[in-house]
């Protein structure tokens, strides 16, 4: 499968990002170029502090680059306003973080429905059915009415994966999604992300320190000091 004959779903060119106070600001991203295509899983690896999370937040429109362009589905979103970026996050991007960020007052089903409520393109019953289906696919079909804080850490992270897929986004961004999990649960969560991306034809970008997980991705991107050191290559 060659990448050039398809349009990238997420693309950035010459991305620069500075962090910190104006006096002693840190040049974190130093001109990052990247193209992600649907149906592929990408791992970003690199030493702590090299800018992986910063890149992920910037690509996910949670943070703004100082320089460079970001294109989602071919559309330049570098200069979009807050509301447009928020809407793109809701419709096009699913997030999984190291911490699950579930709302403890809501059931697993409701947690998955929260992004759907905001999008509002489905009837409540359809949303609920979809949430159940997603819970089923992450192996929690029997815990649909469980409050989020009544789950184990591995289960919570699986719900977080299901939530990231709630609005069927073309892009899933995961920042050390298995960082808090034991080996068994790490494997379960990774397999979910991997299999679901294939089934749903999504581009999945995973930041990870786990070499096992990185190796099982379609591509490994090595990052050092704010830039990729290797061209995108098959793992």
Partner 1 sequence: MSPNFRIAVRFLLSKKRSMLMSLAGIVLGVGLFIVAQANTTGFEKLFIKTVLGANGAVRVQDKFQETLTSIQIEQEDTGRQFEFGRASGRKYRPGVEHADKVIESLYQFSNVLAASKVLRGAIDVSNNFKAEPAQLFGIEKDMHMLVSDLEEQIVFGSMLDFQRNPRGALVGLALAERMMIEPGDSILFTVGDESHRVLVSGIYETGYRDIDRERIFIDINQARRILKRPHQTSYIQVSLFDVEKADDDRYLMESVVQHIVAPWQEREKVWLQVFQAVRISAMISLSSIIFISGLGMFSTLAIIIMEKTREIAILRSIGYTRRDVTHIFIWQGFIVTVVGILMGWLTGATLTLVASRLPIRIRGIFSTDSFVVDWSIWHYVIAGLIAFIFVMTASIIPSRRAAKLEPGDVIRGTSG
Ligand X SMILES: Nc1ncnc2c1ncn2[C@@H]1O[C@H](COP(=O)(O)OP(=O)(O)O)[C@@H](O)[C@H]1O
Task: Tell the smallest beta-carbon distance from residue 105 to partner 1 (Å).
Answer: 4
Nearest to 235 by CA among 210, 218, 212: 218
Give the one entry of Mg ion, ligand X, partner 1, none that residue 86 binds, where binding means its C-beta sits below a cut-off of 5 to 8 angstroms depending on kind: partner 1
Tell me, rounded to whole angstroms, the distance of Cα 72 from its chain centroid.
14
28 contact choice in ligand X, partner 1, Mg ion, none (CB below 5 to 8 Å, kind-dependent): ligand X
Q: Return d(Cα 163, Cα 235) in angstroms, integer.
A: 28
Of 41 and 111, nearer to partner 1 (C-beta) is 111
229 lies in the binding site for ligand X (CB under 6 A): no
Residues 6+ apart with CB under 8 A from 110: 103, 131
Pick one of Mg ion, partner 1, ligand X, none as the site partner of residue 20 (Cβ within 5 to 8 A by kind): ligand X
Tokens of 50: 């090299």
CB within 8 A of 196, min separation 6: which ones?
Answer: 137, 161, 165, 202
Pattern 32-71, binding to ligand X, x per CB under 6 A?
A: ----------------xxxxxxx-----------------
Q: Does 57 bind partner 1 (CB under 8 A)?
A: yes
Cα–Cα nearest to 74, from 172, 201, 171: 171
Q: Which residue has the tokens 């809701």?
A: 90
Q: Would you say 49 or 141 has its CB closer to ligand X?
A: 49
- Residue in the structure block whose two tokens are 């034991």: 182
Residue 130 in the binding site for partner 1 (CB under 8 A): no
- As a dihedral over the C-alpha atoms of residue 187, residue 190, residue 191, residue 195, rounded to 10 degrees, the angle is 180
DSSP annotation of 149 reads G
Contact stretch for partner 1 (CB under 8 A) within 28-36, 138-146, 172-180, 194-202? 172-180
Q: Which residues pair with 17 in a beta bridge?
A: 29
Nearer to ligand X, 4 or 24 (CB): 24
Rounded to a whole number of angstroms, the minimum distance from the CB of residue 52 to Mg ion is 5
Give contact residues for ligand X (rule: CB under 6 A): 19-20, 26, 28, 48-54
Give contact residues for partner 1 (rule: CB under 8 A): 48, 53, 57, 60, 62-63, 82-83, 86-87, 89-91, 95, 97-99, 101, 103-106, 114-115, 117-120, 163, 166-167, 175-176, 179
């Amino acid at each position: 499968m060659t990448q050039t004959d398809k349009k990238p779903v997420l693309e950035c060119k010459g991305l620069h990002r500075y962090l910190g106070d104006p006096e002693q600001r840190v040049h974190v991203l130093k001109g990052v170029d990247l193209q992600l295509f649907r149906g592929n899983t990408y791992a970003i690896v690199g030493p702590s502090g090299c800018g992986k999370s910063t890149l992920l937040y910037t690509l996910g429109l949670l943070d703004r680059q100082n320089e460079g362009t970001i294109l989602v589905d071919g559309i330049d979103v570098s200069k979009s306003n807050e509301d447009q970026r928020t809407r793109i996050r809701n419709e096009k991007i699913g997030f999984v973080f190291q911490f699950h960020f579930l709302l403890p007052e809501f059931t697993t089903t409701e947690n998955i429905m929260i992004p759907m409520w905001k999008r509002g393109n489905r009837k409540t019953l359809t949303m609920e059915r979809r949430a159940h289906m997603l819970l089923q696919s992450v192996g929690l079909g029997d815990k649909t009415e469980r409050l989020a804080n009544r789950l184990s850490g591995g289960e919570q992270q699986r719900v977080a994966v299901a939530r990231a897929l709630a609005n069927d986004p073309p892009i899933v961004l995961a920042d050390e999604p298995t960082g808090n999990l034991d080996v068994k649960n790490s494997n379960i969560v990774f397999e979910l992300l991997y299999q679901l991306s294939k089934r749903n034809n999504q581009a999945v970008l995973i930041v990870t320190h786990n070499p096992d997980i990185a190796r099982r991705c379609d591509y490994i991107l090595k990052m050092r000091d704010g830039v990729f050191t290797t061209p995108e290559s098959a793992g």
